[in-house]
């Protein structure tokens, strides 16, 4: 989650939370801001003039860096997809004992915040043609990861696949119900109990 900070070029920047930041922008800056805006207000709120105001410039800037609004969305989605690749999954694969991997994965994923805000926003934008293929690829990969993890944990292949689907569905559903929908706003200890219940229920002993 280092969405912000870091510039590509020659000019440095102190911190992106100030208005009178009179530096020139790069395409990356726009993508970062776009991702932030998506996390906050959803894909539908991604308007170029709004983004421009937020960045302290005008549309003229935007259309120098991007050909169209869709192009920005595309680039932002690619960035998100690529970033999320070996973010958690890579670390998990380094755990020696396969039976330790799944519970550890559950616990780690459960305590992330920012990536989930983007993910939840993208789930709400599944009518947009550009996000569908991205989400399809990501879901596919993650489900396959769970599939092999469950096999390594001792489940027979077919059962492992269904368990993987079930697990990932529960994950996605939880995001929808507790993030975007602000249900009874489950508190910390209760949440931890829920996670442990998931582990006990879904992961074979």
Partner DNA sequence: GCGCATCCATACGGGTGAGTATGGATGCGC
Partner DNA sequence: GCGCATCCATACTCACCCGTATGGATGCGC
Number of residues that bind its own copies (CB under 8 A): 40
Q: Contact 37/45 with Cβ under 8 angstroms? A: yes
Q: How far is CA 139 from CA 12, 13, 62, 136, 181, in A?
A: 37, 36, 31, 5, 21
Residue 68 interacting with DNA (CB under 7 A): yes
Least distance in Å: CB of 94 to its own copies? 27
x/- string (CB under 8 A) for its own copies, residues 51-90? ----------------------------------------
Least distance in Å: CB of 18 to its own copies? 29
Nearer to its own copies, 35 or 198 (CB): 198
Residue 171 interacting with its own copies (CB under 8 A): yes
Can you tell me whether residue 191 is helix, strand or coil? helix
Residue 33 interacting with DNA (CB under 7 A): no
Task: Candidates 42-50, 79-87, 106-114, 120-128: pick the segment binding DNA (CB under 7 A).
Answer: 42-50
Nearer to DNA, 12 or 17 (CB): 12
Closest CA to 175 of 186, 160, 164: 186
Residue 102 interacting with DNA (CB under 7 A): no
Give CA torsion, residues 119, 125, 126, 132, to 10 deg. Answer: -70
Give CA angle at 183 (178, 184), nearest 5°. 120
Nearer to DNA, 51 or 164 (CB): 51
Q: What is the DSSP letter of 160?
A: H
Span between the terminal Cα atoms of the chain, in Å: 33
Q: To which H or E segment does residue 41 belong?
A: helix 27-41
Closest CA to 121 of 46, 181, 41: 41
List 90, 127, 188, 189, residue binding its own copies (CB under 8 A): 127
The footprint of its own copies (CB under 8 A) covers: 41-42, 44, 121, 123-127, 132, 135-136, 139-140, 158-159, 162-163, 165-166, 168-174, 176-177, 180-184, 193-194, 197-198, 201-202
């Amino acid at each position: 989650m280092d969405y912000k900070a870091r510039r590509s070029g020659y000019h440095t920047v102190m911190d992106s939370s100030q208005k009178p930041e009179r530096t020139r922008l790069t395409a990356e800056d726009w993508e970062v801001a776009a991702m932030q805006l998506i996390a906050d207000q959803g894909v539908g709120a991604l308007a170029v003039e709004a983004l421009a105001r937020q960045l302290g410039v005008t549309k003229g800037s935007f259309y120098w860096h991007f050909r169209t609004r869709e192009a920005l969305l595309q680039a932002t989605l690619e960035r998100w997809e690529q970033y999320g690749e070996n973010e958690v999954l890579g670390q998990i694969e380094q755990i020696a004992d396969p039976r330790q991997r799944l519970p550890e994965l559950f616990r780690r994923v459960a305590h992330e915040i920012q990536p989930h805000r983007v993910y939840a926003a993208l789930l709400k934008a599944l009518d947009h043609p550009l996000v569908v293929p991205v989400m399809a690829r990501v879901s596919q990969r993650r489900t396959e990861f769970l599939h092999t993890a469950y096999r390594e944990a001792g489940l027979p292949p077919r059962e492992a696949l269904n368990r993987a689907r079930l697990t990932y569905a529960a994950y996605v559903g939880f995001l929808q119900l507790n993030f975007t929908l602000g249900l009874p706003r489950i508190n910390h200890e209760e949440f931890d109990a829920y996670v442990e219940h998931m582990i006990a229920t879904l992961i074979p002993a």
